[in-house]
């Protein structure tokens, strides 16, 4: 019985292999490029696997995504059909994301980019902002991460809204569902947070049409996936003043190329896909438990729905 691990960063691969091996002593764990007996490989733990990465393993039972998103697995055109995909989620991931969302929503709410610019110019200017109770924050995606982020924002006093594909009920959050309620939701978002999975339906969702539906001067935080955003539409909306600021954690190309205009844009904050970055000791505990449970029962709660795309 063996497990292969595939992560683009070699140092990280070794870190994860060591952690997983300590937790799964009955298994042999290999890097995917040196898998040992391919017949024995029954699980693959992966982040952004190469196209065709799973083809050498005829007895694979499941793929484990080293994260909540599975878009990087579904991107493989040669992915074996009907292969179960297990997400790696848990309270550490949701805790980190709620911290990130609270930090950046508060930063936009309290106009910190303008205050920081004033400090650079040694300008003493008291900006008056409304209290959180008069600031409307909308969260796109109300799953593990978006649902927790919305609850956190509501607990900070924000007028909190949430939008998802199917209807959700969350205390203190006004919820909207489906395409039919999308425009009403957007019209009420002074700050918009994207925590959607990347699917056919959500690719390019953060575009000129969406920005035009937000109140003028709104700001946007994208911690979902880079391809949710149409980059030129964002630059145009910032130039025209329709948007005041954007905080972006995820990008079409990661790492963000050094010549990319986002790096130096005064109204864009770039963070390097760290909104909720799971560490190997924590993630390995979740993955080991999921592999053991899947091995024993053929089921885990964190199974993704590949047809749905998340």
Residues binding ligand OXD (CB under 6 A): 67-69
Q: Is 144 in the site for ligand NDP (CB under 6 A)?
A: yes
Token pair recorded at residue 205: 């969702």
14: number of Cβ within 10 Å: 14
Please give the Cα distance from 102 to 149 (Å, whole number).
8
Active-site residue, 225 included: yes
| Marked catalytic residue, from 265, 273, 285, 293 | 273
Task: Give the gyration radius of the chain's Cα atoms.
Answer: 21
Rounded distance, CA 240 to CA 220, Å?
15
Member of 101, 196, 220, 229 binding ligand NDP (CB under 6 A): 196
Is residue 249 a contact point for ligand NDP (CB under 6 A)? yes
| Stretch touching ligand NDP by CB under 6 A, among 13-21, 33-41, 162-170, 210-218 | 162-170
3-state helix, strand, coil in the chain (%, to 5): 35, 20, 45
Q: Which does 146 bind (CB under 5 to 8 A by kind): ligand OXD, ligand NDP, none?
A: ligand NDP
Residue 223's binding partner, choosing from ligand OXD, ligand NDP, none, with beta-carbon cut-off 5 to 8 A by kind? ligand NDP
Tokens of 187: 């019209």
Among 37, 120, 131, 166, binds ligand NDP (CB under 6 A): 166
189 touches which of ligand OXD, ligand NDP, none (CB within 5 to 8 A by kind)? none
Is there binding between residue 141 and ligand NDP (CB under 6 A)? yes
Single out the catalytic residue among 87, 136, 225, 228.
225
The two tokens of residue 222 are 């994208």
SS3 letters across 190-206: CEEEECCCCCCCCCCCE
Least distance (Å) between residue 128 CB and ligand NDP: 32
Please, how many CA atoms are within 13 Å of residue 186, restricted to the half-sphere of its CB?
A: 20
Q: Provide the minimum distance between the beta carbon of 176 and ligand NDP in the complex, in angstroms, as a whole number.
A: 9
Catalytic center residues: 225, 273
């Amino acid at each position: 019985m063996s497990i292969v691990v595939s992560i683009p960063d070699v140092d990280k691969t070794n870190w994860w292999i060591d952690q997983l091996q300590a937790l799964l002593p009955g298994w042999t764990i290999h890097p995917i490029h040196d898998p040992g007996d391919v017949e024995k490989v029954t699980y693959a733990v992966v982040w952004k696997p190469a196209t065709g990465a799973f083809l050498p393993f005829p007895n694979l039972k499941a793929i484990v995504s080293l994260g909540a998103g599975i878009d990087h697995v579904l991107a493989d055109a040669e992915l074996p059909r009907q292969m179960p995909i297990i997400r790696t989620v848990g309270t550490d991931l949701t805790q980190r994301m709620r911290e990130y969302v609270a930090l950046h929503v508060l930063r936009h709410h309290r106009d910190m980019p303008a205050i920081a610019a004033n400090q650079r110019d040694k300008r003493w200017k008291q900006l008056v902002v409304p209290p959180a109770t008069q600031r409307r924050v909308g969260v796109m995606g109300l799953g593990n991460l978006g649902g927790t982020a919305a609850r956190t924002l509501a607990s900070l006093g924000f007028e909190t809204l949430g939008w998802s594909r199917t209807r959700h009920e969350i205390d203190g959050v006004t919820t909207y569902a489906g395409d039919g309620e999308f425009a009403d939701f957007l019209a009420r978002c002074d700050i918009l947070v994207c925590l959607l999975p990347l699917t056919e339906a959500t690719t390019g969702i953060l575009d000129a049409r969406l920005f035009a539906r937000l109140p003028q001067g709104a700001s946007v935080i994208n911690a979902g996936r880079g391809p949710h955003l149409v980059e030129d539409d964002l630059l145009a909306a910032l130039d025209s003043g329709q948007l005041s600021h954007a905080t972006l954690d995820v990008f079409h190309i990661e790492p963000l190329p050094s010549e990319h205009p986002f790096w130096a844009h005064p109204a864009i904050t770039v963070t390097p896909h760290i909104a909720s970055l799971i560490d190997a000791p924590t993630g390995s505990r979740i993955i080991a438990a999921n592999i053991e449970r899947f091995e024993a029962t053929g089921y885990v709660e964190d199974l993704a729905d590949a047809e749905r795309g998340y």
